Structure 1
Amino acid sequence: MTRGQGHPGPFCASSFPGLSMLNSDSVILGLRGMATLKRSLIGVCQLNSTGDKERNFAECQALVREGAERGAKFLFLPEAFDYVASSQEQTLSQAETLEGDLIQRETGVWMSLGGFHERNPDWERDRRIYNTHILINNLGELAAIYRKTHLFDVDLKGRMAMKESDFTIPGPAIEQPINTPIGKVGLATCYDLRFPEMSLVLSQAGAEILTFPSAFTLITGLAHWEPLLRARAIETQSYVVAAAQTGKHNDKRTSYGHSMVVDPWGCVVAQCHEGRDICYAEIDLDYLRAVRQDMPVRYHRRTDLYGHLNPLPMHTGDH
């Protein structure tokens, strides 16, 4: 696989006679040989952030510029794109408000800024932050804000431990999916991936693309990253976009990488190489609708047996 080229996951195109590969830049699969035209190119960025914000920002700029020149309509950056600190003290001291200098708004393309260390507005009383997923439109305006709701408090005895809630405030709400040029985008972040209810409620609210910017640990990534992403795509029949951190950030932290895009059939259609990279895929909403029509699982749910998920309130982020 060449850099930026999509590839099918196991048992995708080869296992179903009606599925076909339509071009060499990204894999587009169609049921019953269906040729589709309404496609949008996206770029998924992979970073190795450190505690040096200027360095990280320069790397983000380079990838965004590359993606825009390639013609991507939407670019996705991972969790902690701004920095990965080596201590809790550094994490808190480098946090900014949404009005800070780091959030650049002259993009020309839509962007998912996957996990920004947002200083709590009530900083004098509560010295914790939000892990904030920001959507910026092609005019450089804030289109949506989601503050991570599920915090990573995990202790894998002798292997790794992190307690995100020591320095992070859990977000108060799941946000309504956002209308964008590539479809309706549902916002989540990293550890949210492990909670299928969140993906299902976003899909129920109309999401066609679920995005999970992440900084998965090496241990958990090796075991669970791709299976979780493919599961969320299959059960919601949605595209799943997962920009990720990769490699060693400091002496305490290493990330798994493997940024990828999964289609509504559960096939991996694009994946980054090791190190800083960007991969490309096409979002094909005609194909998504065909998958949902041919296997209409959303209409087969036995809510009389296991109940309904609570619908999302009709509002978007407070920006």
Structure 2
Amino acid sequence: MRVAVAQMTSTSSIDLNFATCQRLAREAADAGVKLLSLPECFSFIGRRGDEALAIAEPLDGPIFRRYQALARDLGLWLSLGGFQEKGPDEDHAYNTHVLLDDLGSVRSCYRKVHLFDVDVPGGPVLKESNRTAPGTQVVTAQSPVGTLGLTICYDLRFPELYQRLRFTENAQVLLVPSAFTRKTGEAHWELLLRARAVETQCYVLAAAQSGKHNDLRESYGDAMIIDPWGSVVARCPDRLVTGIAVADIDEELLKTVRRNMPIAEHRKYNIYGSDRQLSTL
């Protein structure tokens, strides 16, 4: 059950971004990959928030259909890690993580719940909620590589979501496509990813945006795959270079980790409640 995560530097050119994704998808297919995870904002990153709003479209629009055709042509499952989907009103889009199967059909959609509204010390001021509407649902999906838990970027800082995905929704593989800022990525990217893997005993697939998208925005990169014991089993050799990292999902390892460290059985619901009570999602 071979998987891959992509690392790329998206720009405001929809055509160039698609060409990059197409090249990476072909590389993954040639490597025997069954599922490729693309990062957040894989199809477009503009200089201003209103640019993303302007190109947002429904999930049957012309940009989206190109990626459906790509999945179908290569016989490859694609995790589209954050697509600008037409939102609930003219002023807001959704940041939507879409799972496509190898026929190009939509299997599941997750709209980003936690929006990145922060002023990073020494970094940019970003307020995602100005142009993005939040989602309201926890989402999993069945796939050839296991039960997937769909998340996006800033969600990584909220362990309750991942606890819910594992202990209530029975996820085995967590998808965390991202566009982490350079400042926050240096401090917390790998740390948080490995923590989510250890506390849920899941594989974590972390596709990443990297490098300078324009004069105002830069992403950290460092796409990687982490196993249920918290070990990094694959990562791009250079955090700023476009490429993929490939690994195999070892179902026996996942079972062994969960059997030898049975945290699901040791959870004290009588003290701190169920995952559904802990989370308002």
- Whether the TM-score (by the shorter chain) exceeds 0.5 is yes
- In the superposition, the TM-score normalised over structure 2's length comes to 0.93
Are 1:291 and 2:257 matched, yes or no? Answer: yes
Instruction: Provide the residue aligned with 1:86 in structure 2.
Output: 47
Q: How many residues are treated as equivalent by the alignment?
A: 269
Amino acid aligned to 2:200: T
Specify every segment of 5 or more residues in structure 2 that has no aligned partner in the other structure, as ranges: none
CA shift, 1:311, in A, is: 7.7
C-alpha contact (below 8 Å) 1:115/1:189 kept by paired residues: yes
Query: Which residue of 109, 113, 119 corresponds with 2:80?
Result: 113
Cα distance in 2 for partners of 1:187, 1:234 equals 17
Instruction: Provide the residue aligned with 1:316 in structure 2.
Output: none
C-alpha contact (below 8 Å) 1:201/1:311 kept by paired residues: no
CA shift, 1:96, in A, is: 1.7
Cα distance in 2 for partners of 1:186, 1:311 equals 19
Task: Mark the structure with the bigger radius of gyration.
Answer: 1
C-alpha contact (below 8 Å) 2:96/2:109 kept by paired residues: yes
2:208 is paired with a residue of what secondary structure? coil
Are 1:142 and 2:128 matched, yes or no? Answer: no
RMSD: 1.3
Instruction: Provide the residue aligned with 2:10 in structure 1.
Output: 49
Identity among equivalent positions (%) equals 48
Instruction: Provide the residue aligned with 2:215 in structure 1.
Output: 251
Cα distance in 2 for partners of 1:156, 1:81 equals 23
Instruction: Provide the residue aligned with 2:63 in structure 1.
Output: 102
Instruction: Provide the residue aligned with 2:28 in structure 1.
Output: 67
Amino acid aligned to 1:111: L
Query: Which residue of 60, 74, 91 corresponds with 1:127?
Result: 91
Runs of 4+ deviating beyond 6 Å: none
Specify every segment of 5 or more residues in structure 1 that has no aligned partner in the other structure, as ranges: 1-39, 313-319
Question: CA, structure 1 residues 311+41, in 2 after alignment: closer, same or farther (shift >3 Å)?
Answer: farther
Instruction: Provide the residue aligned with 2:130 in structure 1.
Output: 166
CA shift, 1:234, in A, is: 0.1
- In the superposition, the TM-score normalised over structure 1's length comes to 0.82
Which structure has the highest helix share of the two?
2
Deviations 1:80-109 (A, max 9, x none): 001111012212112122111122223211
Report which structure shows greater RCO (CA 8 Å, sep ≥6): 1
Instruction: Provide the residue aligned with 1:20 in structure 2.
Output: none
CA shift, 1:118, in A, is: 0.7
Cα distance in 2 for partners of 1:295, 1:306 equals 20
Question: CA, structure 1 residues 303+127, in 2 after alignment: closer, same or farther (shift >3 Å)?
Answer: same
2:213 is paired with a residue of what secondary structure? strand
Amino acid aligned to 1:195: F
Instruction: Provide the residue aligned with 1:15 in structure 2.
Output: none
Are 1:262 and 2:226 matched, yes or no? Answer: yes
Instruction: Provide the residue aligned with 1:225 in structure 2.
Output: 189
Question: CA, structure 1 residues 73+158, in 2 after alignment: closer, same or farther (shift >3 Å)?
Answer: closer
Deviations 1:34-85 (A, max 9, x none): xxxxxx1111111100011111011000100111111101111000001111
